[in-house]
Amino acid sequence: MTTPTGAAARCAAALLAALDETQAAQARGSLADPRLTDWTYLPGERPGLSLEDLGSAQHALVMELLEASHSPSGAELAVGAIEVERLRRQLASGAPPAGDRYWVRVLGDPGGDEPWGWRINGHHLAVHAVVVGDTTTVTPHFIGAEPAVVPEGPGAGRRLLGPEEDLARELASGLDPDQRSLGISADEAPDDILTRHDPAADPSLLPTGIGRDLLRSDQQLLLDRLVQRYLDRAPAPYAERCWREAEAAGLDRVRFAWAGPTEPGRGHYYCVTAPDFLIEYDNTQDQANHAHSVWRHLRDDWGADPLRAHYARNHPDGR
């Protein structure tokens, strides 16, 4: 049976084998790189190999690696972010873009026994996969969509992050008056996610919100579905592990906060915090037609916790 980690390793190895010497030098990196935690979701160049410089077969291998490192729904989001970005550029220029402005790096040896990873970064897409044994972490995991609602063409009406918005809005708009005093943190939404692209996510930056224990059972179900929507971006074994950890830590410690109006079409923001992770979403720019979403794992960002466990177990002398 093919595992998610095995499929990703085969895809990464196939990609490296398909590159010429210059491309491979640009694509290869190390998990020991001190710049490992540098990232952004804003426009601009990144370290690594640009997808604009790839042939069609090489580009297809990157997409296969992207899909292999996610669940089916996570892959749909990640690939969708690239598709929506193509549309944004076409709407701005009036012509289809010549290539995709994303940069890929393979960190370490996907064919070896040691941990390895890979990442793809560009405007509105940042995936940071680290593979340790049979565990694949993917955080920080950022997906954005501009436009949030596709205005025209074959994909007219597409809302890449529609479920992320709708579940949270249903929860926020259904809060009772007493609940709203806790769950609605501000009348106006911040202009972006509050953790931005910080190397380490700081939960203290986020509004406290309302605890799951103060929600009715139907509201708790909505919050659980919202959380699982984000966790399910990852391959199923890791997503399930993250949910089990949340249960073990106590689901009543999960908190939800919304900022801004709850009416559709107006700028809004929400966050979910828990002992081990945080989630943020905003849709405020361009008349609330420009959405950002991020999942951060407070222990496993950059594969930190699995890597610590691996090196403590296999390299206790630090070598």
Residues 46-51, mean pLDDT to the nearest whole number? 97
Q: Are residues 257 and 168 in the same domain?
A: yes
* Residues 21 and 120 sit within 8 Å (Cβ to Cβ): no
pLDDT at 318: 56
Residue 71, phi then psi, degrees to nearest 5: -75, 170
The answer to whether position 155 is within a domain reads: no
Q: What share of the chain is helix, strand, coil (3-state, %, to 5)?
A: 40, 20, 40
- Look up residue 190 and give its two tokens: 């911040």
The answer to whether position 90 is within a domain reads: yes
Q: Are residues 132 and 166 in the same domain?
A: no
The answer to whether position 125 is within a domain reads: yes
Residues 238-262, mean pLDDT to the nearest whole number? 98
pLDDT at 209: 98
Q: Are residues 59 and 167 in the same domain?
A: no
Residues 10-35, mean pLDDT to the nearest whole number? 97
pTM over the 0.85 mark: yes
Domain coverage including residue 60: 4-139
Mean pLDDT of the chain: 96
The answer to whether position 153 is within a domain reads: no
Residues 283-306, mean pLDDT to the nearest whole number? 97
Cα–Cα nearest to 269, from 261, 182, 195? 261
* Residues 258 and 251 sit within 8 Å (Cβ to Cβ): no
pLDDT single digits (tens) 65-102: 999 999 999 999 999 999 999 999 999 999 999 999 99
pLDDT single digits (tens) 157-182: 999 999 999 999 999 999 999 999 99
